[in-house]
Amino acid sequence: MSTRIAPEKLAALVSSVTQTMCGLSFESTGTYPAFNPEARMAALTIEGPKPIMVALSADPASCAAISEAMFGCPAEQLEPGMIEDVLRELVNMTAGQVKQALSVDDALGLPSIMTEIDLLKVLDQPKVSNTSLKAGGVKLVLWVGPRTS
């Protein structure tokens, strides 16, 4: 089974979640995202015989902007745990959209916070799509691909 979804479709899937949650609509930038060691990432596995990993990463400013919108409070009132909660919820809801788009009927795992380096260790890299998304100044990278371990 292919886990490839067109970048425009992935942008629409994320936007279907973020438009409701925080009023953001994303579009694919069409550029390959550069490694960002400061990025925060949440990931989860769609369980099943062929597990699929879904992950979202964002730079600190984008994490703060999304969290501000969701919690309705200024960035200086945000705590690290609040930002992680937003990332976990966002990846959970996005994974549900990805699952539906791929016509997969397997259960979602629990979202966890990880680094891009850790993510790359568990993905079948040649089969992974990582799509750079943007909504105004907010940038996300959505990763979708088969999990190897």
Q: Domain range holding 116?
A: 7-21+39-146
Round the average pLDDT of the chain to a whole number and report it: 90
pLDDT at 11 over 90: yes
The answer for residues whose C-beta is within 8 angstroms of residue 6's C-beta and 6 or more apart is none
Q: Is residue 1 part of a domain?
A: no
Q: What is the pLDDT of residues 13-61, one digit of tens each?
A: 999 999 988 889 999 998 777 778 888 999 999 998 989 999 999 999 9
Residue 1, pLDDT score: 58
Q: For position 98, which CATH number holds?
A: 3.40.1550.10
Report how many domains make up the chain.
Answer: 1
Classify residue 103 by burial, with Cβ atoms within 10 Å: 0-12, 13-18, 19+: exposed
pLDDT at 149 over 80: no
Q: Is residue 27 part of a domain?
A: no
Residue 101, pLDDT score: 93
Kindly write down the DSSP assignment for every residue of the chain, as one continuous string: ------HHHHHHHHHHHHHHHHS---EE--SPPPP-TT-EEEEEEE-SSS-EEEEEEE-HHHHHHHHHHHHTS-GGG--HHHHHHHHHHHHHHHHHHHHHHTT--PPB---EEE-HHHHHHHB-GGG-EEEEEEETTEEEEEEEEEB--
Q: Is residue 29 part of a domain?
A: no
